Every structure is written in structure tokens, then in C-alpha cells.
Amino acid sequence: MLKKASWCLFLIVLFSQPALAQLPDFTEMVKDNGKAVVNISTTKKAQPEPEGLQKDQPLPEGIPPEMEELFKHFFNNPDGGYGPGGDSQSLGSGFIISQNGYVLTNHHVVKDADEIVVKFSDRRELVAKLIGSDARTDVALLKVEAKDLPAVTIGAPQQLQVGEWVLAIGSPFGFEQSVTAGIVSAKGRSLPGGNYVPFIQTDVAINPGNSGGPLFNMDGKVVGINSQIYSRTGGFMGLSFSIPMDVVMNVVDQIKTKGKAAHGWLGVQIQDVTRELAESFGMKKPQGALVSKIMPGSPAENASLQIGDIITEFNDQAIETSADLPPMVGMAPINENATLKIIRQGETKTVNFKIGLLPEQDEKVAEVKTDTKPTNKLGITVSALTNEQRDALQIAKGGVMVQEVGKGAAKEAGIQRGDVILRIQNNAINNVTDFNEITAKLPVGKSVAALIQRRGSPAFLAFKIEK
């Protein structure tokens, strides 16, 4: 019996070793790199406040008395609190990239700060100078006066694989040198407001205060800056996003040499190609970036790109979804020649253009007033645009206004009251007569693409007229 028990124990140990061996050990990595991770605190001078405005909010019930001060600090401001005289303070993370004092963090961590203080792992605190900051990529470069600092090694995010282990070090809620780990969940994610960044998605626990900290691969090299989380509570929910270091270092190099970062510009508004839109354009599968608007005076206009073109390649790099294109163009050198491969009315073409400089543009959304006209067979009511509506919507010519939407193909496609229909299946809609003539000839049971403008933004929608 004893021999049998010993044999069973041997088998358990033998077969458990490979499983244990596969689990990563981060201890050496933290020892080697923890000293290069810093805490970033900023101060913004207080502004006069309206009378009766209260900074402190009531705390949740049931908090132990000895924990009240800690909860009071973070409950009222998860990124920081208030300093002497009501000056606002915020906390974030950063990391040293050179021994002579260059430090990286997020733009949003140091935005509008009057003072930036870098706190090192040895408890030293130094006031930092903001060398440059780029809101579009959320990258900021700082400099402290110090020498022989511990610095991280920059890695290659292109070599990251989904499922690979990664580690973050930062200061969530001000708790310095906190280490969390997880895996790469996805690559090349596009987020609202972050069109020029192909984010690395991970399930590493990231919370307020982690922003600006490094994301390490298993070789101990930094592959990203932790920047955003997706959350319905304000805390970690398993979706964290980091800026790839190739994007970051491109911005850093520009800030060092030019004082600011510049981004490439094509001058188009694009959208994904859905299955229905792919069918309407005669494509075998949904792919590419569908051009829904061309900016006046842009490189796209100079290259004779057209609305309805589908961009499938940029400089021989495949465009699977519309989110692939902006980072590629944004990182391309200004004034260099570039090539697009497009599908135009079923034919594949090559378009050459010169990368432009991305301008600062603000889209204005205009309110429209409508008047009812006879109902079209699609179940929608349309009318001609007035001169005032054209000015408000910035539409020089063409288009009809949707007044009412009833049952039918248009409603199922998502067309709404106030939409302006500019084009149907490569046919420009100049007036109500054009609209009626073109829709009367549309095929039954086949997907048809319509270009609309809604609240200042163009988009293609696909609809199908049923029998």
C-alpha cells in the first residue's frame, strides 16, 4: 500500500511540473524595471468657484473610521484631490526612457498642469519640464534634471501576439509601484477619439493612476503606454488599452526635433464596408475603407479620389477594416509620396498622392427645419434643400432632405428624419425629381448603397427593396 501511494505521489508531481512551468514568473522583471517607473503628480492653480459649490461629497455608509481619510481622498477624486488653497491635483504614472532624464507619460495626465512633479522609486521628487505633448496620440514627453537614471528598454509591439503575457507597473489610486499582469487580448483596436492609434487591448488590471505607465512584454521591454480602460463603473472591468511604442517613439522623435508632432493627412471620411454594402458594390466579401466624404483642398481631392471608392491597400499594406487606415496615414512622413489601391465601381485602380499635414478641424452640426412633401414608394418623404439649409449643413449642391420615414426599405436601413440623401448607387441626387426617377428604377431584392449626411457627417447605408 505504501509503495502504491508513493508511486501515485510521484505521478502527480511528474505531471504537474509542465503546468507549473508554463506559468510566468515576473519577479526578476519587476526587480530589473521597477526603478524606471515613476509617479507623476500635477498641480493646477485653483480658479474662482461659484458660491455654494462643494468639493467634498458624502461617503458611502459603513466605512470604518480609520479608513475615512483614505476613502475621502480617492472617493471625491479618483485621480487625485485638492491641495492647499483649493489647487487641483492629479496622479498618474510614467517611465524613464533615457539616463539623462527623459520621461514618458500620457498627454491627459499632464494636460493644463501648472506644475509637474516626478517621484522616483527611491523617494526623490523632481519638478519636470514639459518638452512636448500630443493630444491625438495621448503622448507627453517630460524632462527632469538628473543623470545616470535607470531607464527601460523599448520593445517592438509589432511582434506581440494575442494571448502573450504582459505586465504593467504604475500607481493606481496613488498606490505606487503596483504590479498587475494579464495577456494581450487584441491588437489594432480603434477607439472613439483615438483614430490615429492602433491600441493594444489587454486584460491587465488598469485603474485611475495607472495612466502613463509602461506595459512590458516577457522580455522585460516596454511595448506600450497604458492609456485607457473601458468601464461602466469607473474602475477596471477587464478591458485595458495601451498605445504601441512604435507610435509613441515616432511622436517622441518629432517632439525632440521639431517641438511638436505632426500627423499625415489624406482628407477623407471613411466607414466600414458591411456585408450589405459589399453586396451593393459587387464585392465578394466586406473589406476596406469606404470613402463617404472628401475634404476640399485635401490630398484626396487633388488625387481625384471619389466618394464611393473603397480603399483596400495603403502603400501595399492591406486595409481589412476602416480602422486600419488612419494610423497608417497618420504615421506616414509629411510630403512623401504614397499609393492607394481602390475599388471603384467594381474595378481595381491605383491612386498616387502626396501625404498632407493634418489640419485642426472642427465639424459644426447644424439644426435643420423641414417641410413635408409627398411620400416616396420607399416609405420616406423628401424635399428640396433651401439655401439656408445648405449653408447650415455645408452642402454646396445636390441632395434631398428626408422629412418623414414610414415602413419600408429606408426605415429598415436606418434612414432617419433630417438625413440628407446625396447619392444612390453611384447616381448623384440633385433634386427631388432625380430622387424619384432613380428610386423608381431600383432593382428588387438586391442591396443598394445610399450616401447620406446626418448631423454634419456623411455615411453609406445599404437597403433592399422587397418584392
CA distance 398 to 423: 9
What is the grid cell recorded at 363? Answer: 465639424
Helices (H), 23-140: 27-33, 68-76, 107-110
Which 3 state secondary structure label does DSSP give 381? strand
Phi, psi dihedrals of residue 140, rounded to the nearest 5°: -135, 140
Q: Is 211 a catalytic residue?
A: yes
Vertex 379 angle, CA 378 and 383, to 5°: 90
Question: How many other C-beta atoms are found inside a 10 Å radius of the C-beta of residue 131?
Answer: 15
Q: Which of 88, 178, 185, 211 is flagged as catalytic?
A: 211
Residue 229 burial (10 A CB sphere; 0-12, 13-18, 19+): buried
What is the grid cell recorded at 10? Answer: 510521484
Residue pair 39/91 in contact (Cβ under 8 Å)? The answer is: yes
Phi, psi dihedrals of residue 240, rounded to the nearest 5°: -120, 150
Which 3 state secondary structure label does DSSP give 243? strand
Residue from 330, 277, 300, 305 nearest 463 by CA: 277
Which 3 state secondary structure label does DSSP give 137? coil
Q: Is 108 a catalytic residue?
A: yes
Residue pair 250/239 in contact (Cβ under 8 Å)? The answer is: no
CA distance 446 to 466: 8
What is the grid cell recorded at 377? Answer: 414608394
5: enclosing H helix or E strand: helix 2-22
Q: Which of 88, 108, 292, 309 is flagged as catalytic?
A: 108
Question: How many other C-beta atoms are found inside a 10 Å radius of the C-beta of residue 334?
Answer: 14
Active site members: 108, 138, 211
